[in-house]
Amino acid sequence: MTKSHTPIPFIDLKAQQRVIRPQVDRAIQRVLDHGRYGFGPECEEFEQALSKFTGVQYVLGCSNGTDALTMLLIDLGVGPGDAVFVPAFTYIATAEVVALRGATPVFVDVDVDTFNMDAADLKKAIKVAQEKELKLAGVISVDLFGQPADHDAIAAVAKNHDMWVISDAAQSCGALYKGKSTLQFGLAATTSFFPAKPLGAYGDGGAIFVHDDKLKRRLENIRVHGHGVNPASIESLGLTGRLDTIQAAILLEKLKIFPAEIENRQKSADIYNEALSKVVHVPHISEERTSVWAQYTVRVKHAKQRDVLQDHLTGLGIPTAIYYKRPLHVQRVYRYGLLDRCLENTDQLSDTVISLPIHGYLRESVQNQIIDGVLGFFKK
């Protein structure tokens, strides 16, 4: 057990709630009073606040980060025979949306230091997809654990093959690439407000970020069963893709404290980096990028060491997580997207990564406990 006998949370949403509870209570009360639970005024207000925060002109709040991707793929007409290139080392949703459209999610290896899509391997995957006579449709990049992908390098490869790019920024809202929000990249970008995300709701939520007003209008239709605000005229396929008003009201309050939380996450990451770099591979953030530290993920030597370290920390009451222990290309339902290739870095990472607690409210004393736990393991 820990010295304090207080369980250490992996993400401390209660500490955050203590800071904003009165504001959140009032915000929910306002929604209950006006009673517009779908598309209430808070929805538009939140979209405008996000537009200001990210510098992207058009923002559409929506039901979650998965639907955000799906709505874009519906608009792009992605379907059977299409190859959509996705990193193999990501959360399942990135590939799932492609597979659900009947297209092939073609898995691309990642850079071992940044955990993000490797543009050089993207070129190799494209070549193999062409040999297999798949139609090159697009790329979905992911900013894993809060660090931006190499957006310029990915865009250059995609452009050479006349493919679109969607930036799946579910984990990176608030991060910057060359001074710009990750939501600015690609034909469109998406994010998630799942409660555990850096900017999280108290339920599901997501958003789509676009630069073109025609695309925005089509997505508004798709977001409500293809008819948008006019049920008499169904323009396309669609889904129940709204962000509900209560979540928008909560997120408006959370967005106000988000910049300070990002700073705190960075401070915690700096402390971890300093304390742990001699015993594990600490995360590498490439030049001209900032991370929002959705996860603080280190690498150890091999799977056995990782699993014993995790048991050791669990024994000390220190929670950890492994994202992602079995990458997508080895999962039975997704194996076809490997195109018989070998993704060595993804395989290596899935054996050696382990994530430590990080959030905007990590007290120094608690972080020291975690650091002592890790250092103690390597002293043995």
Ligand X SMILES: Cc1ncc(COP(=O)(O)O)c(C=O)c1O
Near ligand X by CB under 6 A: residue from 192, 268, 290, 295: 192
C-alpha torsion sign, points 112, 304, 106, 341: positive
Cβ distance to ligand X smaller for residue 157 or 170: 170
Which tokens in the block code for residue 229?
A: 């605000």
Which tokens in the block code for residue 245?
A: 């008003």
State the pairing for strand pair 58-62/206-210. Answer: antiparallel
Stretch that binds ligand X, among 21-29, 147-155, 163-171, 271-279 (CB under 6 A): 163-171
Q: How far is the CB of 339 from ligand X (least distance, A)?
A: 21
Cβ distance to ligand X smaller for residue 193 or 377: 193
Cβ distance to ligand X smaller for residue 283 or 373: 283
**Angle CA 74–188–156, to nearest 5:** 110
Asked if residues 84 and 105 have their Cβ atoms less than 8 Å apart, the reply is yes
Stretch that binds ligand X, among 62-70, 149-157, 232-240, 302-310 (CB under 6 A): 62-70
Q: How far is the CB of 190 from ligand X (least distance, A)?
A: 7
Q: How far is the CB of 67 from ligand X (least distance, A)?
A: 7
Using CA atoms, how far apart are residues 340 and 336, in angstroms rounded to an integer? 8
Strands (E), 240-313: 296-299
Cis amide leading into 324 (omega within 30): yes
| Residue whose C-beta lies closest to ligand X | 65
Nearest alpha carbon to residue 118 among 99, 141, 91:
141
| End-to-end alpha carbon distance in the chain | 18
Near ligand X by CB under 6 A: residue from 54, 66, 116, 147: 66
Contact pattern from residue 70 through residue 109 relative to ligand X, giving x for each residue in contact according to CB under 6 A and a dash for the rest: --------------------xx-xx---------------
Near ligand X by CB under 6 A: residue from 54, 147, 167, 171: 171
Return residues touching ligand X (CB under 6 A).
64-66, 90-91, 93-94, 142, 168, 170-171, 192, 194, 204, 206
